[in-house]
Structure 1
Amino acid sequence: MQNNKLSFLCPACKKVHEFHAMNMKEDKDISISGVDWGVEWSDFMIEVPNLNERHWERSSTMPVVGSYRSVLVSHPFNLAIGDEIWTLFQPALSLFNGWDEHPEEINNSAMVKFCFKSIISRNEKEAWIVIRIEDVLLLKEADIRLKSRESPGIMKNFDLYDSSHIFTYEEWLYIDSCSQGDIGSWALLKKKAKHYSLILEGYWDFSHNSIYCGNISVSENEVNELIRGVNNKNNL
């Protein structure tokens, strides 16, 4: 680590992938840009498990603005102490197994803005760090807090690859599309009276994992067309 910066080598290419958190544009009234780094949230304070310990209870406690949390991070985490960034919080079961297996946790998931405060312990692959919670946006409230906008044709971004699947749960619709685990995109939509709201969209490959939270109005026709396309492909 140099200049209070914490980063890790990519397991695939053995390089550090730069990420400029301060350059991310933010208009909190319209949308939020962040990363889906799979931060492992804990309920520990300063006394945390050894970095070699794999068996510890991940947290399902919603972050609270102004509180401090100890979290475990690994590649592609790349921030300097004092940096702020948005990321996705998921309770423990859906963090490990996904919303498709634990859709009841969607309503207890949130976009969280945190400030990287200090390092507790680290090795070459991961680190325990302390963060301060700066803002929390529950996914179930995103369509209330964020202004609605339109982006015609955006659903085409979520059936680009050879493997796609869709599941629904109450008012939620989730789609995931990937190519051999190397690259992919996904989306979480909320059903409204006469349309859908695209709440989350994610794009990832082996070195980057971007996530965007908004309130994009999508017509039922556009969503139904996507569902038909995925079903037809999966039935081939």
Structure 2
Amino acid sequence: MESKFYDIVGFENDVMEWSDYENEIPPLDESRWIRSDHPPEKGQVRTVKAAHPFHMMIGEPFWMLYTPVLSSLNGWDSHPEEIEQSSFVHCSIERVLERNDTKAWLRVKVLEVGMIKDYNQCFPVRDGSSGYLDDFEMFGEPYLFNYRNWLFISAGAEGDLGVWGLVKRLDTQYHMLVYGDWGLHKNNAFGGNILLPRHQIEGWIEEAKQNNRYETVG
């Protein structure tokens, strides 16, 4: 769970869902249960539902991407107003309440919360001119969603694997603050402050507009 390219390595929000339950929990196979709309705070102990490919041990700290409940279910491109409420949460498992081969109810301690919107100030700038966007181009032309000064970029291969990035535009510069890659056995999220090549991003924007792969709101 370390990377020389990013400051934070963790799991994407699909791997862990947050609840307001304490000791009484729904059955593991119950799909209809009340997701929490209370963001995690440092020092809390919370009940979460984790699923494959989550694989941490009791007491072992890990990072988890947190998004509020609407965007966790439907994505930032459906609820972009929740981007600036999203964070990476540093946690450790305190207790396993119930588990099977693919899912578990856990009690986790919140060790730290870092708001994504501040990562351009929290982390030193890394040069993104080489390597950081290669995976997007591997999948062909990406889809771009624009909300105010945010760009959500995604690309994939027929639902089997893909990549995405959350980019913050500051004046004429583009900083990728979150990157994700997913597949059958991985669902990862990375946090940092990657300065991307302006000409490449603006070229993608123009191509996406011409090919109906660009959407803007707000």
* TM-score normalised over the length of structure 2: 0.88
Residue 53 (structure 1) aligned with residue 30 (structure 2): yes
Q: Distance in 1 between matches of 2:142 and 2:108?
A: 35
Whether the 8 Å contact between 2:11 and 2:54 is mirrored in structure 1 is no
* Corresponding position: 1:44 with 2:21: yes
Backbone CA RMSD of aligned residues: 2.1
1:7-156 correspondence to structure 2 within 5 Å: 21=1, 24-25=2-3, 31-36=7-12, 38=14, 39-153=16-130, 154-156=132-134
Deviates most, 82-91 or 216-225: 216-225
Which of 193, 203, 207 in structure 1 is aligned with 2:181? Answer: 203
Tell me the alpha carbon deviations over residues 117-171 of structure 1, each in whole angstroms, 9 at most, x when there is no partner.
1101122331100111111111111111111121204334324325731110011
1:87-142 deviation per Cα after TM superposition (whole angstroms, max 9, x unaligned): 10011111111011111111111011111111011223311001111111111111
Which amino acid in structure 1 is aligned with residue 199 of structure 2?
N
Report the identity percentage.
Answer: 31
Structure 1 Cα separation of the partners of residues 188 and 135 of structure 2: 14
Q: Could you list the runs of 5+ residues in structure 2 that have no partner in the other structure?
A: 214-218
Query: In the alignment, does 2:169 pair up with 1:188?
Result: no
Distance 1:196 1:163 in 2: 18
**Inter-CA distance 178–158: structure 2 relative to 1 (3 Å threshold):** same
Between the aligned partners of 1:161 and 1:26, the Cα distance in structure 2 is 23
Residues 177-211 of structure 1: per-residue CA shift (max 9 Å, x gap) = 01011110100000101201110111111101222
Residue 160 of structure 1: aligned partner: 138
Change (3 A) 1:226 1:69: same
Gap regions ≥5 residues in structure 1: 1-20
Aligned to 2:216: none
1:213 is the counterpart of 2:191: yes
On the 8 A contact 2:89/2:110 being kept in 1, the answer is yes
Aligned mates of 1:72, 1:163 — CA distance in 2 = 34
The 3-state SS of whatever aligns with 1:54 is: coil
Kept after mapping to 2: 8 A contact 1:155/1:222 = no
TM-score by length of 1: 0.82
